[in-house]
């Protein structure tokens, strides 16, 4: 197909920064599935980043991914993903080699329901105070609408 008949629409990436936050519009992720050992983002999305959090949104402004940058976050390579059913899944590396050897995948999905967790991972129900995962999953609207720490 030649360029004159190509109906693919492209969007200009834009970035807006202040001292407290960064907003990136029209971030372009990969268009084809690739099995790699790091998180791959697909499609077109926007990113809001503060000193403590990273949020990614789809084109309908619905949250898609969230991650804390706090020291208490379980692992810097792990993130939360919101499903179309509005459930949250925490993607754990599980030490990479153990998860990959057991499942053939680099990340282990941990569901927010304790009865549905795979291989015993419970990032939503960690010991002590409310976990960062639980905080982000339940309070992301408050965090994004009412200010940033």
Tally of domains in the chain: 1
Instruction: Please report, for residues 75, 100, 125, the alpha-carbon distance to residue 95 in angstroms, rounded to integers and kept in the order given.
Output: 10, 9, 19
Instruction: Please report, for residues 38, 122, 140, the alpha-carbon distance to residue 42 in angstroms, rounded to integers and kept in the order given.
Output: 13, 26, 21
In a domain, 34, yes or no: no
The token pair at 42 is 């697909």
In a domain, 3, yes or no: no
Q: What is the pLDDT of residue 3?
A: 53
In a domain, 5, yes or no: no
In a domain, 6, yes or no: no
* Global model pTM greater than 0.85: no
In a domain, 123, yes or no: yes
In a domain, 7, yes or no: no
In a domain, 88, yes or no: yes
Within 8 A by CB and 6+ apart from 87, the residues are 111, 112
| Blockwise average pLDDT, block size 10, the chain, 149 residues | 59 91 92 78 91 91 90 84 87 70 75 64 61 76 63
Q: What is the pLDDT of residue 120?
A: 56
Q: What is the pLDDT of residue 48?
A: 93
In a domain, 2, yes or no: no
Q: Which domain holds residue 67?
A: 13-29+39-145
Q: What is the pLDDT of residue 91?
A: 83
């Amino acid at each position: 197909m030649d360029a004159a008949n190509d109906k693919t629409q492209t969007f200009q990436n834009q970035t807006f920064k202040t001292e407290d936050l960064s907003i990136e519009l029209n971030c372009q992720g990969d268009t084809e599935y690739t099995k790699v050992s790091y998180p791959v983002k697909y499609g077109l999305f926007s990113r809001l980043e503060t000193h403590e959090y990273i949020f990614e949104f789809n084109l309908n402004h619905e949250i898609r991914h969230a991650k804390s940058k706090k020291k208490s976050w379980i692992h810097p390579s792990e993130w939360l993903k919101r499903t179309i059913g509005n459930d949250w899944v925490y993607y754990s590396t599980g030490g990479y080699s153990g998860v990959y050897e057991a499942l053939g995948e680099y990340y282990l999905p941990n569901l927010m329901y304790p009865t549905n967790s795979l291989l015993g991972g419970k990032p939503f129900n960690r010991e002590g105070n409310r976990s960062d995962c639980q905080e982000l999953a339940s309070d992301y609207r408050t965090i994004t609408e009412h200010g940033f720490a």
